[in-house]
Amino acid sequence: MKKILAFDLDHTLFDTVAFKHDLFLLFQKNGLPFEVAEKTYQEQIRLNNGNYSFSKHIRLLHEKYDFDTMSLEQAIQQFFTSDFTKYLLHSLNDLAAILKDYDTFIITKGDPDVQWAKIRQSKLNRILSEEQVVITDIKHEASIWKELNDNGGVYINDNWQETQHLMGLFPQMLFILYIRKDANKFYDPQTVTIPTFKTLDELKTFMV
């Protein structure tokens, strides 16, 4: 029986920082200052319980600013059908080599359309089926957490605070932390008490 493995998506498999930067540049090219796009993004996150919703972000912008809606929507539609493989933090081939020995899931939150676009346009869907992706689905997510804990599964993400909380809820699981390039903005890696990795070669040492 294969062991169960779950990944977070944003900042762990997908470079969301670079993705957001390019998205905000797109807003800027269509009449909205970069700073406005970034500020309203953060405001929308706060209003939506920490989750991003693209439609709510656009609605919030409409309430405060005047801009060419059609031009921006066309540009965004083109962006969301472009090649996102440049945002992958790890190569697909290397990921596939690790995942073949596990029943793997991605657990993520946010706007489903945005999250699916990240997965499909980055080609992650070539190594994971739709059934292996859980996006803002509380019931499905709860069943995956139970299965992970009951079977001593592995969960990998980049958020140390969230991981500490999950460790208290699911003591039978193995938690591994991805140390992202800007990790020092969020926590001191020296304080982390679980296995950490920066490359997939380092991750492989824990996946035995």
In degrees rounded to 5, what are phi and psi of residue 203?
Answer: -60, -40
User: In the predicted model, is pLDDT for residue 2 greater than 90?
Assistant: no
Please give the Cα distance from 66 to 43 (Å, whole number): 18
List all residues 6 or more positions away from 77 whose beta carbon is below 8 Å from its beta carbon.
none
Q: How many residues does the chain have?
A: 208
Where are any strands of DSSP class E within the chain? 3-7, 102-108, 133-135, 154-157, 174-178, 196-197
pLDDT reported for residue 1 = 67
pLDDT reported for residue 208 = 65
pLDDT digits (tens, 9 = 90+) for 62-118: 888 888 888 888 998 999 999 999 999 999 999 999 998 899 999 998 889 999 999
Closest to 41 (Cα-Cα) out of 72, 13, 20: 20
pLDDT digits (tens, 9 = 90+) for 32-50: 999 999 999 999 888 888 7
Task: Enter the pTM of the model.
Answer: 0.92
Q: Are 80 and 55 in contact (CB under 8 A)?
A: no
Residue of 102 and 188 predicted with greater confidence: 102
The whole-chain average pLDDT of the chain stands at: 91
